Amino acid sequence: MGIGRISFIPKYLERYNAVIDYKGKKQTILLNNKVENKGVILKITSNKDHAILSILGNKYTKAFIKNNKYRLILHDGKTLKKYL
C-alpha cells in the first residue's frame, strides 16, 4: 500500500475517522486518540548539511509551558549531546 501521511489540526473533543480507499475497496478506521487542547508537535526534517527541528504549539500550550526549562538531547548512534 505504500506510505501515506496527512496533516491537520484536530478540534478539541472532536472524534475522527480515516477512510482508506485501496483498489476500489473502502475501509473506515475510527481514530480513538483523545484530542487535548494543549500539546506540542516535534518535527524533524533535514537538508544536505543540517537537521531542522520545529516545535509547534498553540496558545493553551504556551501558557502551560511558559517559564519552564527544557533540554534537547541528540543521539548520533554513539554519543549524546545535550543542549539547554
Higher pLDDT, 10 or 79: 79
pTM: 0.52
Q: Return the pLDDT at 79.
A: 94
Q: 23-67: per-residue pLDDT in tens?
A: 899 999 998 888 888 888 888 888 989 889 898 888 888 888 888
| Half-sphere exposure at residue 42, Cβ-oriented, CA atoms within 13 angstroms | 2
Of 78, 61, 66, 49, residue with least CA distance to 9: 61
- pLDDT tier, 1 (very low <50, low <70, confident <90, very high otherwise): low
